[in-house]
Structure 1
Amino acid sequence: MNVLFDNCTAPVWASTLHGFISNYGHSATHIRDLKGLPTGRHAADIEWINYLKLHPDNWVFVSGDGRVLRNSAERAALRSAGLHGFILAPAYQKTPIHQVAATLVWKWPEIEQVTNLLAAPSMHEIPIGKNTKLRQLLL
């Protein structure tokens, strides 16, 4: 499985998660490091969603911006791309960067389980509490 972190996330979160999940054959990449995306880090949501759709390498994404679900064009692109998406709860914006990285590693088994059990497309919110389960969002 490949995990893409969008522009609304810190690059260190992708590299931290990658360090953990690479031992299990997975990878995590921040959008700034994604090879082949024409506008790189400055890609609009629609662009990177379409990129992932055209490169079906079992992608999921993590975003810090829940607005991706409020824009009808982006929602339609997400549905047609058949992705599993994970939105960070708003509380992450005020959480120290190292605690967010730790929480993402903590939540990884649950994220992996959801992607294995549910058919894509699906969206979930990653809560700030380590003992709080992922919350399914409407797509």
Structure 2
Amino acid sequence: MNSNNNNYSDIPGTTVFDGNMARKGFHLNQFCMSLMNAANRESFKQNESAYLDRYPLTDAQKQAVLARDFTQLIALGGNIYYLVKISSCDGLSVAAAVSTMTDLSTEEYLDMMRNGGRSPEGNRYLKEQQ
């Protein structure tokens, strides 16, 4: 999943949003920010593909938006703080959107977070696990 090639690129299941990812996802994140405007949200809901064509997104980014594939959107440079604007258009909570990136239901995800979140075991640098 991680497309970074930095010293932090070997953290399992983690894509670090750094300067490279910000550049990669700039237009994707600008699209997401446009959804803060009610008229833009309505236009997006009426014809998602046409609305996405207003932005110079890659085909992969467009497909990930249409599929609401948040894991892929992060890998393509999306920042979760911007991406939740998409789920808000769908009437989903942040927890519901984030839970789609796990193998948990929304309620299971919320329960996990209420109980301290995921264990760090198995989620550290790969070099630390050897």
Q: Which category of TM-score, normalised to the shorter sequence, fits these structures?
A: under 0.3
Which structure features the higher share of helix residues?
A: 2
With normalisation by structure 1, the TM-score equals 0.26
TM normalised by structure 2 equals 0.27
Bigger-Rg structure (1/2): 2
Higher relative contact order (CA 8 A, sep 6+): 2
- Of Structure 1 and Structure 2, the greater strand share is in 1
